[in-house]
Amino acid sequence: MRETLRKKITRELIKKFAEATDDYNPIHYDVKFARDSIFGRIIAHGILGAGLISAVIGTKLPGPGNVYLNQELRFLAPVFPGDEIIACAEIIELDEAKKLVKLATWCENQNGKIVIEGKGLVLFRQ
C-alpha cells in the first residue's frame, strides 16, 4: 500500500514554518545570503518537507490515531520556493501481533527527483 500528498512550497509557507519553529537560518529567507550559498537561492527547511511525510502518515497511511515512533531521514537535494513536493509513504513491513508498521518514506519534487528519503515506524491502533 502507498499513499501520497502534494504541496506547493511557497515563500509564505517557508516564512510560516520559520515562525512556528524559530528557525531563522538566513538561507531560508535572505535572498543575498542564499545567493552566496552552495544552493544559489533560498531553500525550504528540510524538516518542512519531512513534515509532509508526517502528514501522509497521520492522515492517510496508516491514518488518524496512530503513533509515530521513529523516522529516519536523508536530505538528498534542496527544495526551492515554487517546487511542488509529493510526500510518499509505502508499507514495507506489517507486524499485526505487535501492531507495528514499517514504512518507506520519501519526498520528490515536480520533476520526480527524490529530495528526502527514509524509513518510518508507526504503532497502529486498528
Q: Domain segments of the chain: what residues? A: 2-123
Helix (H, G, I), strand (E, B) or coil at 46: helix
Instruction: Supply the pLDDT for residue 52.
Output: 98
pTM of structure: 0.93
Average pLDDT over every residue of 71-79: 98
Instruction: Supply the pLDDT for residue 73.
Output: 98
Grid cell, residue 111, equals 520533476
Angle at 50 (CA atoms; ends 120, 106), nearest 5 degrees: 60
Cα separation, 47 vs 50, whole angstroms: 5
Q: Return the CATH fold of 2-123.
A: Thiol Ester Dehydrase; Chain A (3.10.129)
Please write the tens of the pLDDT for every residue from 95-121: 999 999 999 999 999 999 999 999 999
Closest CA to 72 of 43, 109, 104, 115: 104
- pLDDT of residue 126 exceeding 80, the answer is no
Instruction: Supply the pLDDT for residue 125.
Output: 78
Instruction: Give the single-character DSSP code of 105.
Output: E
